[in-house]
Each structure stands twice: as structure tokens, then as C-alpha cells.
Amino acid sequence: MQIVFHIGAHYTDEDLLLKSLLQNTKTLSKHDILVPKPDSYRGVLRDTLVSLRGKQATEEMQDVVLDTILGDAEGDRIVFSYESFICGAPQIFHEGKYYGKMGMKAQWLRNLFPDFEVEFCIGLRDPATHIPTMFHRHQGENDFTAWRQRIDMNSLSWKRVLVELGQAVPDAPITAWCNEDTPLIWPEVLQSVCDHPLELKLKGDDALLKSIMSAEGMTRMQTYMESHPPRSVQQRRRIVTAFLDKFALEEEMEDEIDLPGWSAKIMDILSARYEQDIDAIASMPNVRAILP
């Protein structure tokens, strides 16, 4: 059996991946792919992680955990999705370091199922917009300058985070993608997480586009694709890009950031580093990068 942990990151797809897959549980189960409801596993896995504290689960414990979550359901691949598998949002900057708990907690997750194949999937996000979003979502914080001073700005590297992830779980394949690219690659993200047959079309594979494109644009694009079915992933992406250029909802595509000291210069520097990180991540031998 294969166990897939979709570990976020925070403030990327906002559980849209899980919601999309839950629309397709019957279809996926026919291909031995199980997508349990989150309330059936998040508490169980959390409690088991706490009790083990990094130790490997016994065969009996693994069986009990899976029986508790799945009941009578049977399959070859299980998808668990939770942005707080590694840490809760307030702990993203543990000791000031961007996802400083990644290596340790990933190893803990791997050791939940030592007798099974395990994979990790993660959506990445440009720190230039990720940091302001974290601040706005972090309850109890109202002084951005003071909050930012507790962050090691040199740690804002997804390359470092994924290197630490890979070192912690060397036998586990990693799939990564950029949140900024998801409008173009969403069907490929869903397929990669589930590993379902390429020809299988899932409900909700256009959910993300619906949130950023006008209703008129979606209708026109769907009509166009019905009469001109894309012959490849690349052609579909070109069609989507063309319709987004004309029908994208500007308020959904742009992040308005107005925080003291968070200048355009800082954002440009972080975005440039982010692009360099993605290039490096795409070359990592244990990482599959889904790029447009």
C-alpha cells in the first residue's frame, strides 16, 4: 500500500485539493485510490504522532491506525491531506526559521507507516506574498515590524526546506509545485497526488479556474475545449493562458500588500530567490517538480 501525505504549505490551495478529491471518492475507489474524510484521520494521526514521538510504529499499531481510519474500505493508495501535518500556522517560523520543523516532523510522519511506501506532496509559495499573508492570518499579531524581526530572513528558502525534507525521508518521493502556477497545472497536480490513470477526468479539476476567471470566460473556454479538445497538456495550458489573459478576475489575481517596511525592493529580491530555488528544486533527484 502507498501512503501519500499532502503537507501544505499553509495558505496555498486552502484545502481545495482535498475538496476536489472528495468529489471523486467513488471514481477513485474504483482504481483502488482512497481519499478519507479529514475528520476520520487528522485526529487519529495527530494522537499517534504524539504517542510515538518519532519512533517507528509497530505492525500492529499501523494496522490499528488504518483500520480506525478506513473501516472496511480497501485500496492500494491512500491520500492524507493537511496543511498542519508539519506544524500549525503559528509554528511556521519555529525558532525564527522558515518551516524549521520540516525535517523532524516529516520523519515522524514517515515512521507512522514504516512498512508501507510513503510519498510527500507540497505546494510552494513565493515568500514575498507568503509572509504578508501569514501575518494577516496570524491572530493576535498587529505589529508587522516586531513580528518580522522574529524571522530569520535568510531562512526564506524553499530549496533548503526541500533539502531538509529529502534528507529526513530519503526513501520517500517528493512532489512539489508552485502555488502561483496552479491555475495552469491543477489537473496534473491532482493526477500526481492520486496517481490515477491519465485518461481519467476528475470533477473539480477546473475549481481553481472558476475562482479566478469570470463566469463568461469559463463558459467560453469550456465550449471552446469541447469543440477543440486539447491534444496535449501543453496545448491545454496554452488555451487556459489565453482565456485567463482576457477573462481573469483582476482582484483575485493580484495581491495588494501594504505593510510597513515590506517594500517592492524586498519583494523583488525574495521573488528572484524563489525563482532560483524552483530551478534548483527541479533538478533534485528525489523531487518531481510540476512546472508549467
User: Going by DSSP bridges, is the β-strand pair 97-98/93-94 parallel, antiparallel, or unpaired?
Assistant: antiparallel
Q: What is the dihedral of CA 153, 154, 158, 162, to 10 degrees?
A: -130
How is the chain split into domains, by residue range? Answer: 2-202+266-290
Pairwise CA distance, residues 215 & 212, whole Å: 9
The predicted-structure confidence for 40-57, as pLDDT tens digits, reads as follows 999 999 999 999 999 999
Beta bridge partners of 177: 123, 290
CA distance 269 to 264: 9
**Cell numbers linked to 28:** 477513485
Beta partners for residue 123, in sequence order: 177
Question: Looking at the domain 2-202+266-290, which fold is it?
Answer: Rossmann fold (3.40.50)
Is residue 208's pLDDT more than 80?
yes
Q: Which residues pair with 288 in a beta bridge?
A: 175
Residue 192 confidence class, pLDDT cut points 50, 70, 90: very high
CB 164 within 8 A of CB 278: no
Say whether pLDDT at 251 is over 80.
Answer: no
Q: CA torsion sign, 219 to 221 to 227 to 229?
A: negative
On the question of pLDDT at 103 being above 80, the answer is yes
pLDDT in tens, 130-153: 999 999 988 677 899 999 999 999
Identity of the amino acid at 227: S
Strand partners of residue 213: 248
DSSP E strands in 51-193: the ranges are 77-81, 93-94, 97-98, 117-124, 174-178
pTM score, two decimals?
Answer: 0.95
Residue 254 binned pLDDT confidence (cut-offs 50, 70, 90): confident
What pLDDT score does 139 carry?
Answer: 67
pLDDT exceeds cutoff 70 at 33: yes
